[in-house]
Chains A and B, each alone.
Chain A
């Protein structure tokens, strides 16, 4: 076993275990943290596959931004522990069985005997000065521009959907900024001097 393989297995094990942890942990904060570990581990695997840009973006965007936001939300909602899942005990042996079957099948199918390695030869390593970002940028804006734009539209839809679901109409007690009012304030309104009537 080379060092590279060893690192790969470490990351893989980490990723799988933390993924399982995300699912079974009853404390949401733990769950979110497990997910962070999972992301980091998969970023590591990507780095080994010479997809540096993707690996870094994964850490930056998901770990740095998305998961942080998640943790904020979870903490703000003060979800201590999720209610125990009643059906879980009843189903898990069954679930495990299905899982084992599926995994077994997958392993069988992608085994070297069925997936000839010849057709999936190892890629030639790129030279050190190879720019992953440049390569990505080159295809995203040429070959895959159509798909890229559709992905952008999907994000737009996500925004529309999220806003239209979260925000319907102003209620009377909604607290919000009135920008035009803010802009039109005068100096007199901004500061009100109150005489201190209390003790000195």
Chain B
């Protein structure tokens, strides 16, 4: 088993090193070959693990591969925890990663940073695999930070572009904010359980919780420690999985190359938070307050970020907001204790969202890096394959049976409906409206892009054609996956569920969304503009994204800057520069001047210093004795 895991983890790392360090030597083709080969090996081995665990129901394995260091009672291990959850995640990560690797060969062709790109995504795959195979918090944190780092590097991949730099910084900083929560959570786990390994923590959790440990965060209040830990850890997840109000970085992350958006910001990395909560589900089960918190955050994110998707004009941003919204669904599922449903949605979402992104990328590539949907339209004729793939993805996203998204989303909505914790009814309503909104925004994008009249000029229209096989093959594979995953998982009652859908509310809400989109963007394209005029205040709010960005910009960015300026003027300049630095500089000058008087270079001075030293020590010791 350990060998198998090594074969999963190391090839991407090796590929990253080869492409990264020796990229210029071995050339472009060799670079993508080694990285693709590395991920392919990972993928094959993941398949074996998937077969062993999911199909053959092997029992959970906890392997300690290497003890990195020991500090008191703590051991810093590199270890692996393999169970059904890990096996599923392995499958998702390696398969999407493999497809994105292949896709990138076409998408990144001709880019100056070709080798760098492949090195990064391979490194990302390695880090993500470390994250999901971890058996302890430290390794999880290592993977957590490593994927964050690579994500930062990839958002800013085109670092000469201003928005790319801004976006990467934003992603980095927002994630640091959430990391504070995560680190505090890990600290809490260590103090409460005395270990960082998952299995002992989860095993002890019920016993510890039974003793109702509390902590007084503010004077006079008393909090359940388990709740505090759960919420702190979830704050970490909120940053990584882009939940409100820490979601603001994800739309900006679209400045990175599209394959990255598909791999990192849709299918894998952003789901790390969901994965983490699912991994620790026994812990979360012990705290109803934490679950309520999660449920409300998730449902809010699912609805309100979805609404924002309706007013976006950049095709990638629409899908990005859709990602936010879908992540909200997953988190809401976790909050409703439907961990399996959450992970199920994670899997199906990985497939159809990667599909949507890659299809969008295909469009963008065909239009020579044009992302504004207002300049698209009527592409159905030129890109039939992309068109159909995007349609599959959109249908899956809108939860139309029998596409995969239907099964997972249906499970979530059912679970929230049945949930009895506080906030469940609010969440249920929010998710319901979310279904309508989802269908609306994705089909709006669909109609704007592929239907209507083509707004590109006729000369460039001739140039629009389908891309090579490295682009469309991953699309087709993902499309097939998007159609079938749901049915495969629910194989027994797939048909029954699909039929039952026709009598359920979510289905009709989705249909309503599609029809609305069709009506507003194909039949009467004037309606949206009119609505925007009429409800200009609402439109303004939406365009401003509820003011999160401005709020951050004004309060945090300007506030921090003002504070920084203040600190700079008074703290840095006066106190530190004048006082400490120059002061310590002066002090050091003085010290070294004094010491120079001793460090004369004369032997007898040195000898004298030694003798005085001995004398002082002897006198001191004699006086003590």
Residues of A whose CB lies within 8 Å of any CB of B are 87, 91, 95, 98, 101-102, 105, 108-109
**B611: A residues at CB distance < 8 A:** 98, 102
**Nearest residue in A to B604 (C-beta to C-beta)?**
A87
Residues of A within 8 A of B604 (CB): 87, 91
Measured between beta carbons, the chain A residues less than 8 angstroms from B612 are 98
Q: Which of A87, A91, A101, A108 contacts B615 (CB 8 A)?
A: A101
For residue B599, give the distance in angstroms from its CB to the closest CB of chain A. 16
Q: Which residue on chain A has the smallest CB distance to residue B622?
A: A105
Is B618 among interface residues, defined by CB-CB distance under 8 A?
yes
Is B489 an interface residue, CB under 8 A from the partner?
Answer: no
Across the interface, A105 reaches (CB within 8 A) one of B602, B608, B619, namely B619
Chain B residue at smallest Cβ distance from A87: B604
Report the minimum CB–CB distance from B588 to chain A (whole Å).
28
Show 12 A/B contacts (Cβ-Cβ < 8 Å), sorted by A.
A87-B604, A91-B604, A95-B608, A98-B611, A98-B612, A98-B615, A101-B615, A102-B615, A102-B618, A105-B618, A105-B619, A105-B622
- The 8 A-B pairs of least Cβ separation, nearest first, read A105-B618, A101-B615, A102-B615, A98-B615, A98-B611, A105-B622, A98-B612, A87-B604
Q: What residues of chain A lie closer than 8 Å to B619, measured between beta carbons? A: 101, 105
Complex interface: chain B residues within 8 A of A101 (CB): 615, 619
Residues of B within 8 A of A91 (CB): 604, 608
Find the B residue at minimum CB distance from A114: B625
Interface mask (B604-625 → A, CB under 8 Å = 1, otherwise 0): 1000100110010011001000
CA distance A102 to B356 in the complex (A): 87
Give complex CA distance A23, B608 in Å.
Answer: 16
Give B319 Cβ to nearest chain A Cβ, in Å: 78
Query: Which chain B residues have a beta carbon within 8 Å of chain A's beta carbons?
Result: 602, 604, 608, 611-612, 615, 618-619, 622
Give the nearest-CB partner of A85 in chain B.
B604
- How far apart are A91's CB and chain B's nearest CB, in angstroms? 8
| Apart from A98-B615, A105-B615, A105-B622, 11 more pairs, CB < 8 Å | A87-B602, A87-B604, A91-B604, A98-B608, A98-B611, A98-B612, A101-B615, A102-B611, A105-B618, A108-B622, A109-B622
Q: Is the interface of A mostly helix, strand, loop or mixed?
A: helix
Q: Which residues of B contact A102 (CB under 8 A)?
A: 611, 615, 618
Q: Shortest Cβ distance from B612 into chain A, in angstroms?
A: 7
| Shortest Cβ gap from A163 to chain B (Å) | 25
Tell me the nearest residue of chain A to B605, going by C-beta.
Answer: A87
B34 to chain A, nearest CB (A): 55
Given the complex, which residues of B lie within 8 Å of A109, measured CB to CB?
A: 622
- In the complex, chain B residues whose CB is within 8 Å of the CB of A108: 622
CA distance A119 to B615 in the complex (A): 27
Residue of B nearest to A102 (CB): B615
Q: Give bound CA distance, A155 to B608, whole Å.
A: 30
State the CA gap A7–B611 with chains docked (Å): 32
Q: How far is the CB of B25 from chain A (nearest CB, A)?
A: 48
Residue of B nearest to A88 (CB): B604
Cβ contacts under 8 Å, B608 to chain A: 91, 95, 98
CB of A58, distance to nearest CB on chain B (Å)? 26
Chain A positions within 8 Å of B602 at CB level: 87
> When chains A and B are docked, how far (Å) is the Cα of A105 from the Cα of B604?
22
Distance (Å) between the CB of A127 and the closest chain B CB? 42
Q: Which residue of B lies closest to A105 (CB)?
A: B618
Measured in the bound complex, the distance between the Cα atoms of B611 and A95 in whole Å is 10
A98 to B622, CA, bound (A): 16
Chain B residue with Cβ nearest A95: B608
A87 to B602, CA, bound (A): 11
Q: How far is the CA of A91 from the CA of B615 in the complex (A)?
A: 17
Residue of A nearest to B611 (CB): A98
What are the residues of chain B within 8 A of A95 when measuring CB–CB?
Answer: 608
How far is B615's CA from A25's CA once the two chains are assembled, in angstroms?
Answer: 27
CA distance A101 to B619 in the complex (A): 9
The complex places the Cα of A102 from the Cα of B615 at a distance, in Å, of 7
In Å, the complex CA distance between A101 and B614 comes to 11
**Chain A residue at minimum C-beta to C-beta distance from B602:** A87
Please measure, in the bound complex, the distance between the C-alpha atom of A109 and the C-alpha atom of B622, giving whole angstroms: 9
Closest Cβ neighbor of A97 among chain B residues: B615
Q: How far is the CA of A108 from the CA of B619 in the complex (A)?
A: 12
Which residues on B sit within 8 Å (CB–CB) of A105? 615, 618-619, 622
Question: Chain B's nearest CB lies how many Å from the CB of A116?
Answer: 16
Q: In the assembly, what is the distance between CA of A87 and CA of B439, in Å?
A: 95
Q: How far is the CA of A108 from the CA of B618 in the complex (A)?
A: 12
- Residue numbers in A under 8 Å from B622 (CB-CB): 105, 108-109
A91 to B604, CA, bound (A): 10
Considering the chains assembled together, what is the distance between the CA atoms of A98 and B610 in angstroms? 12
B339: min CB distance to chain A, Å: 72
Q: Within the assembled complex, what's the spacing in Å between the Cα atoms of A102 and B622?
A: 12
Nearest B residue to A108, CB-CB: B622
| A108 to B622 CA separation, bound complex (whole angstroms) | 10
Report Cα–Cα, A91/B609, bound state, in Å. 13
Q: How far is the CB of B163 from the nearest CB of chain A, in Å?
A: 69
Closest to A94 in B: B608
Q: In the complex, A88→B604 CA distance in Å? A: 10
Q: How far is the CB of B601 from chain A (nearest CB, A)?
A: 13
Cα A87 to Cα B605 with chains together (Å): 10
Q: How far is the CA of A95 from the CA of B609 in the complex (A)?
A: 11
Q: In the complex the two chains form, what is the Cα distance from A102 to B608 in whole Å?
A: 13
- Distance in angstroms between the alpha carbons of A87 and B603 in the assembled complex: 12
Q: From B618, which residue of chain A is reached at the shortest CB distance?
A: A105
Q: How far is the CA of A109 from the CA of B621 in the complex (A)?
A: 12
A102 CB to closest chain B CB (Å) equals: 6
Query: In the assembled complex, how far is the CB of residue B618 from the closest CB belonging to chain A, in whole angstroms?
Result: 6
